[in-house]
């Protein structure tokens, strides 16, 4: 519509200029031609000249020097037609041509865009459009690049998922073989010494527990859907939340010779989903326990800052490179690429989704062997939720 309006304005201006130029250049000649064509001079006696003047006839001089008159009524009628219906008709016809050309170009542009979108939907690249569709060409290029990024991200996620399934399937085989082997020893040697039978049973139990953990990871992968994480918030004592997480993970920390500490002020309440937030913090603390140096301490603190509850989990161990820090919250990203070992690569991704579902943020930093995870969630509901 804007292009059509601009073209109509330009056409109107050009039409006015053309009419003015025509009147200036050929107006007099055209008037004489019309007048000479539709009227003729009549020599009038001197006694009748006043009567012809009263009738409005044009007065002139004949070749022989006598006064002559001619009737210009037909001339004025023709000139009126030219200035009125003919001129306006020409203007309207020009407008119609301008509108038709503009609409035809717009239709071709729509057809070109439709075809380009169809080609992109079929997996082909966007074709080169006409120069007047340069803005549409840039937008198509942007859409094409965005689609390629999505495809690459989906392929990378699928590849990582397949690798992790293969990784778990391979690792499941190892403890399962040990379980079968030790149980076979127990079955084949019922008269074995009690100490040996106890050692076989304990080893089989440990391998079964490891297998159970691997199966939990496998089921987590198969049902993983971050968008399905529901959040039901309520007022929660932040100190009790942190202490609960630390208490639940105490056995794991003891098994790895790692100390746990919880530091939180009294009477600090946050508007969160207690179960989901506990899960997020548990995933982060568990990650710290897994990679902390033996004999070190994994601390979990919470404080109030700028209207948010700030949870900080800090461990001392092998640091994470900046390249891995950028991807550490991705789904199915295994930390063994950055810190020596790891599970299914879902814990930190789930923690991020839970935190973001609360309207908060999570970030990680690692330097000089100290890795810090910082979680910020609003202390109170936003105004739109009240």
Q: Which residues pair with 58 in a beta bridge?
A: 70
Query: Which residues are CB-contacts of 74 (< 8 A; sequence separation ≥ 6)?
Result: 38, 39
Q: For all residues of the chain together, what is the average pLDDT? A: 81
Alpha carbons 78 and 72: distance in angstroms, whole number: 10
pLDDT of residue 255: 86
pLDDT of residue 337: 45
Q: What is the tens place of the pLDDT at every residue in 369-384?
A: 899 999 999 987 765 5
Report the predicted TM-score, pTM, of the whole model to 2 decimal places. 0.50
Q: What is the tens place of the pLDDT at every residue in 115-160?
A: 777 766 666 666 676 666 677 777 777 877 787 788 888 887 777 6
Q: What is the tens place of the pLDDT at every residue in 229-250?
A: 678 899 999 999 999 999 988 8
pLDDT of residue 228: 56
pLDDT of residue 71: 84
CB 131 within 8 Å of CB 108: no
Q: What is the tens place of the pLDDT at every residue in 171-196?
A: 677 678 888 888 888 888 888 888 88
- Backbone dihedral angles phi then psi of residue 274, each to the nearest 5 degrees: -60, -40
pLDDT of residue 3: 76
Q: Copy the structure tokens of residue 207.
A: 């391998």
Local confidence band at 168 (pLDDT 50, 70, 90 cut-offs):
low
Query: Which residues are CB-contacts of 15 (< 8 A; sequence separation ≥ 6)?
Result: 90, 91, 94
Q: Say yes or no to pLDDT of 331 above 70.
A: no
Query: Which residues are CB-contacts of 342 (< 8 A; sequence separation ≥ 6)?
Result: 290, 334, 335, 336
Average pLDDT over residues 351-357: 88
Higher pLDDT, 213 or 84: 84
| E strand or H helix at 67 | strand 67-70
pLDDT of residue 304: 92
The number of CA neighbours under 13 Å toward the Cβ of 306 is 4
Higher pLDDT, 113 or 223: 113
pLDDT of residue 382: 62
């Amino acid at each position: 519509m804007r292009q059509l309006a601009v073209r109509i304005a330009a056409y109107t201006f050009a039409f006015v200029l053309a009419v003015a130029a025509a009147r200036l250049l050929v107006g007099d000649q055209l008037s004489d031609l019309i007048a000479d064509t539709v009227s003729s001079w009549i020599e009038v006696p001197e006694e009748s000249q006043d009567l012809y003047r009263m009738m409005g006839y044009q007065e002139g001089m004949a070749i022989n020097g006598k006064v002559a008159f001619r009737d210009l009524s037909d001339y004025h009628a023709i000139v009126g037609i030219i200035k009125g219906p003919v001129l306006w008709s020409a203007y309207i016809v020009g407008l119609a041509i301008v509108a038709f050309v503009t609409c035809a170009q717009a239709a071709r542009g729509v057809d070109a865009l439709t075809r380009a979108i169809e080609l992109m939907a079929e997996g082909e690249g966007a074709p080169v459009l006409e120069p007047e569709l340069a803005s549409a060409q840039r937008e198509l290029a942007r859409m094409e690049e965005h689609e390629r990024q999505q495809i690459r991200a989906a392929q990378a996620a699928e590849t990582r998922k397949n690798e992790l399934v293969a990784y778990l399937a391979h690792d499941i085989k190892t403890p399962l073989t040990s379980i079968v082997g030790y149980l076979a020893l127990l079955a084949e040697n019922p008269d074995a010494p009690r100490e040996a039978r106890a050692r076989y049973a304990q080893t089989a139990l440990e391998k079964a527990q490891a297998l159970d953990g691997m199966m939990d990871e496998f089921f987590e992968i198969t049902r993983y859907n971050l968008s399905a994480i529901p959040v039901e918030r309520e007022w929660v004592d932040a100190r009790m939340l942190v202490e609960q997480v630390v208490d639940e993970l105490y056995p794991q920390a003891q098994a790895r010779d790692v100390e746990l500490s919880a530091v939180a002020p009294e009477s600090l309440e946050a508007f969160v989903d207690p179960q989901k937030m506990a899960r997020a913090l548990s995933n982060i603390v568990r990650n710290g326990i897994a990679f902390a140096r033996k004999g070190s301490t994994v601390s979990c603190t919470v404080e109030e800052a700028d209207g948010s509850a700030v949870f900080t989990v800090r461990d001392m161990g092998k640091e994470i490179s900046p390249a891995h820090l950028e991807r550490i919250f991705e789904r199915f990203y295994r930390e063994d690429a950055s810190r020596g070992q790891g599970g299914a690569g879902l814990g930190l991704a789930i923690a991020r989704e839970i935190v973001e579902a609360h309207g908060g943020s999570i970030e990680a930093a690692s330097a000089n062997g100290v890795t810090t995870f910082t979680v910020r969630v609003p202390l109170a509901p936003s105004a739109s939720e009240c």
